[in-house]
Amino acid sequence: MAISRRGFLGTAVLGSVGLGLQRKPSDSSPEAAPLKTARKPVLICAANGFRYLDEGYQLLSQGHDTLEAALRVVRGPEDDPNDDSVGLGGLPNEEGVVELDSCCMHGPTRRAGAVGGVHDIKNVSLLARAVMEHTGHVMLVGDNATKFGLEMGFPRENLLTERSRKVWILWKEFNSDRDWWGPGLADPHWHAPTPQGKPDAERWRQALDRLQELAAAAGIAPEFRRAAIQRVLYPPTGTIHCSALNEKGEMSGTTTTSGLAWKVPGRVGDSPIIGAGCYTDQDVGSAGATGSGEENIKVCGAHTIVENMRRGMTPHDAGMDALQRIARNYNNDKSRLEYVDMTYYILRKDGAYAGVSLWTGYEPGKPHKIAIHDGSKRLEQCTPLFEGVSQEWPPMPDIPAELRQQSAW
Ligand code: GLY
């Protein structure tokens, strides 16, 4: 899904303010969770795949393979330098290296492929398929996954676009009064570290002013500065999943991501993990995830959902159960769960589908959405387990409300 683009100024982002923490009623009844079915090709994906659904649907309608159609959709964000959550232009790890993860499952042949921590290759969803088709393995990682891709003829590309590089530099510079990156003590532009004793408002006024200066110095275009500063303060995750069903009832799924911005090098999230970021069972259905990768791995989200459907749950209820398992891992403690978010995209073999999310959205008025194409293309709001907005992790910027209201920074 599109990365979190919380407009943190002008929106209530602090603490639990604005959270309506009511649990949605458990709704297995048809009234609460209408079954959506279709006897035609169906594609579902995260909202950032919306504009690419037509191409994928055309392939399905022409009788092409379901995995080919799903890959066509996710290649869109992978190729887009301005989608900084996936592929080219993805935000890098803390060392400035863009590390990509992906997996895919092909229902008709019951095969799977995955890659993790790939650098210098943009279309890792296709690389995951290459692992599936050209090796006897399921998953390759790191330098050797990249090497395999280059040997298979994937072009070597610098994935760090100028735009993402500048945001990374901004992130480094902002933190550099607490490390050995410049400016050093002798630098005429050296600033004393932000005094801890100062009131929050004063500290954050200074910090935001400094971010503005640093963004200008890094050459970040004025119209992108606000978004760049958001990415520094709230390291985003971003991903796309797509599941496909054709008229023959064949299914496939794929998920691809650049993972968490500024992550520890080598960190792999849920997206390349078969059963977490994506799972497809030709007999049952397909599911995929975007959001807090670490939490999804712990509940094997996509596999859990497909198994739930195998046991007779609707897509909606199957997804809600996986979300409840995430909540259960924190004893339903909302003070922790508010820093987690997860969206599941679920497609059953009969064409029934659902989009469900842990929270309504990242910010008020912008709910999580699932994109669907079953002959008509549309976005639908995901059903949340908890109503309210999630908070970003880490909760670094404890920005006072009065500063959040200012437009000057
Ligand atoms: N869900 C994407 C990630 O956590 O890497």
Q: What is the pLDDT of residues 20-41, one digit of tens each?
A: 223 333 333 333 444 444 479 9
For residue 270 and ligand 1, the question of a CB distance below 6 A is answered with yes
241-298 pLDDT, tens digit each: 999 999 999 999 999 999 999 999 999 999 999 999 999 999 999 999 999 999 999 9
Residues 102-121: what's their mean pLDDT?
98
Domain assignment of residue 187, yes or no: no
For residue 140, how far is its CA from the centre of ligand 1 (angstroms)? 18
Domain assignment of residue 83, yes or no: yes
Among 74, 125, 260, residue to substitute to test ligand 1 (most atoms within 8 Å of Cβ): 260
Residue nearest to atom 4 of ligand 1 (CA): 293
pLDDT at residue 195 is higher than 70? no
Are 305 and 287 contacting, i.e. CB atoms less than 8 angstroms apart? Answer: yes
Query: How much of the chain exceeds pLDDT 70, in percent?
Result: 80
- The pLDDT score that the predictor gives to residue 294 is 94
Domain assignment of residue 25, yes or no: no
Residues 174-194: what's their mean pLDDT?
67
Number of domains in the chain: 1
How distant, in Å, are the alpha carbons of 58, 202, 239, 378 from that of 51? 13, 43, 15, 10
Domain assignment of residue 24, yes or no: no
pLDDT at residue 15 is higher than 80? no
On average, the pLDDT of the chain sits at 85
Atom of ligand 1 nearest to the CA of 268: 5
Q: Which of 44-53, 263-272, 390-399 has the lowest mean pLDDT?
A: 390-399
Task: Give the CATH number for residue 304.
Answer: 3.60.20.30
Residues 6+ apart with CB under 8 A from 302: 253, 275, 276, 277, 278, 279, 287, 288, 289, 296, 344
Annotated catalytic residues are: 239
Q: Which pLDDT band holds residue 188 (cuts at 50, 70, 90)?
A: confident
For residue 305, how far is its CA from the centre of ligand 1 (angstroms)? 18
Among 93, 240, 257, 273, residue to substitute to test ligand 1 (most atoms within 8 Å of Cβ): 257
| φ, ψ for residue 14, nearest 5 deg | -95, 145
For residue 146 and ligand 1, the question of a CB distance below 6 A is answered with no
Atom of ligand 1 nearest to the CA of 294: 4
pLDDT at residue 199 is higher than 80? no
For residue 277, how far is its CA from the centre of ligand 1 (angstroms)? 8
| Extended strands (E) in 144-257 | 239-245, 251-257
359-377 pLDDT, tens digit each: 999 878 889 999 999 999 9
**Class of residue 22 by CB neighbours under 10 A (exposed 0-12, middle 13-18, buried 19+):** exposed
Atom of ligand 1 nearest to the CA of 263: 5
Residues 314-333: what's their mean pLDDT?
97
For residue 93 and ligand 1, the question of a CB distance below 6 A is answered with no
pLDDT at residue 87 is higher than 70? yes
- The pLDDT score that the predictor gives to residue 193 is 60
Domain assignment of residue 230, yes or no: no
pLDDT at residue 86 is higher than 50? yes
pLDDT at residue 330 is higher than 70? yes
For residue 122, how far is its CA from the centre of ligand 1 (angstroms)? 17
- The pLDDT score that the predictor gives to residue 266 is 95
Domain assignment of residue 147, yes or no: yes
Residues 330-353: what's their mean pLDDT?
94
Domain assignment of residue 283, yes or no: yes
pLDDT at residue 19 is higher than 50? no
Reduce the DSSP state of residue 117 to 3 states and report it. Answer: strand
- The pLDDT score that the predictor gives to residue 187 is 73
What residue numbers bound the domain in which 95 lies? 42-159+236-389
Q: Which of 91-105, 129-143, 384-398 has the lowest mean pLDDT?
A: 384-398
pLDDT at residue 313 is higher than 60? yes
Domain assignment of residue 186, yes or no: no
Atom of ligand 1 nearest to the CA of 292: 4
CB atoms < 10 A from the CB of 283, how many? 12
Q: Which pLDDT band holds residue 234 (cuts at 50, 70, 90)?
A: confident
148-166 pLDDT, tens digit each: 999 999 999 999 999 999 9
For residue 237 and ligand 1, the question of a CB distance below 6 A is answered with yes
